Amino acid sequence: MTFQYTDDPTKRYHSWNYALRQQFGGKIFKVPVDGGFDCPNRDGTVAHGGCTFCSVSGSGDMIVAPSDPLPQQFYKEIDMMHQKWPHVDQYIVYFQNFTNTHAPVEVIRERFEQVVNLPGVVGLSVGTRPDCLPPEVVDYLAELNQRLYLWVELGPQTTYESTSDKINRAHDYPTYVDAVARLRKHNINVCTHLINGLPGESLEMMRENVRRTILDSDIQGIKLHLLHLMRNTKMLRDYAEGHLQLMSKDDYVSVICDQLELIPQEIIIHRLTGDAPWDSLIGPMWSLKKWEVLNAIDQELLRRDSYQGKFALRGAFTHAANSSAV
């Protein structure tokens, strides 16, 4: 079998590293920074308390110096990365944690502009929510898209309203579908985040999350995460009350391969598992050995004689009738 989007015979999916090498001709650092934003389901705009799985850092636990001014954060991050890869000189700045368009557009512009013109910055990735993209913010993102390599990362995390309510997302699935459509009018790249292992979701529901996302939204990238149960999160109550079953490694590897088989080959796989600080993680503890998980995914695809897009749900995107997610 020959897979089109790889130069590594062990990889049978369209990896983020491969895509960046094709785009820029070499290795790129994706540099996470904390933009100092909040979330509308934390600050009372639409809800309080935030997503039940989210840490106090807003899923930015690995950022080196989150309280520093943005340029200093950037330089501290790349200094650390250069210890391993000293010759890399191109960077994508990643506004990672919380909701990085939850502010007036003037505030967003002031913060983004602090980093987009720093030496070596060739791209920007903006993590946000679909309910925080008013027209004036989309217009600014469209402007940035003309200036540099841009991704907007949206985290519905699930397509099921029942799950979304449990985790306190406080926006619905049609809002996500609409946000993608409005971004794509400006040809902005969209990466969707989905979490496997959310409370009450079966393996079939996890596969269905991918199916719906692919059919309903014109995305260019996807991140598939494992649910990490973290200390000091509201989800600990679900776990204590027996409403959350942590995934086994075998189930996770299997469902990831099932999901990859559904995803068209041109869609870039930004991530197949996540990182969690070991001292904050309750479980699954096997997830700390990230490379073992990624190798197991490669091996399972090989065992199946399978690859990304083997059972792809669509070719070129055509919007499917959006059935109500329940």
Q: For position 321, what pLDDT does the model report?
A: 40
- 312-to-7, 203, 214, 259, 306 alpha-carbon distances in Å: 21, 18, 9, 10, 12
CATH assignment of 16-304? 3.80.30.30
SS3 316: coil
Per the listing, tokens 């004689």 go with: 305
Every domain of the chain and the residues it spans: 16-304
- Six-digit token pair at 40? 């509308």
pLDDT at residue 317 greater than cutoff 70: no
* Section 120-137 average pLDDT: 96
- Range with the poorest average pLDDT among 139-148, 256-265, 272-281: 272-281
Q: For position 315, what pLDDT does the model report?
A: 60
pLDDT at residue 325 greater than cutoff 70: no
pLDDT at residue 320 greater than cutoff 50: no
How far apart are alpha carbons 149 and 13 in whole angstroms?
22
pLDDT at residue 237 greater than cutoff 90: no
- Six-digit token pair at 109? 């512009």
Q: For position 33, what pLDDT does the model report?
A: 94
Q: For position 307, what pLDDT does the model report?
A: 96
How far apart are alpha carbons 322 and 287 in whole angstroms?
34
Q: What is the pLDDT of residues 264-279, one digit of tens each?
A: 999 999 999 887 778 8
Q: What is the pLDDT of residues 5-39, one digit of tens each?
A: 998 888 999 999 999 999 999 999 999 999 988 88
pTM above 0.85, yes or no: yes
Q: What is the pLDDT of residues 162-220, one digit of tens each?
A: 998 888 887 899 999 999 999 999 999 999 999 999 999 999 999 999 999 999 999 99
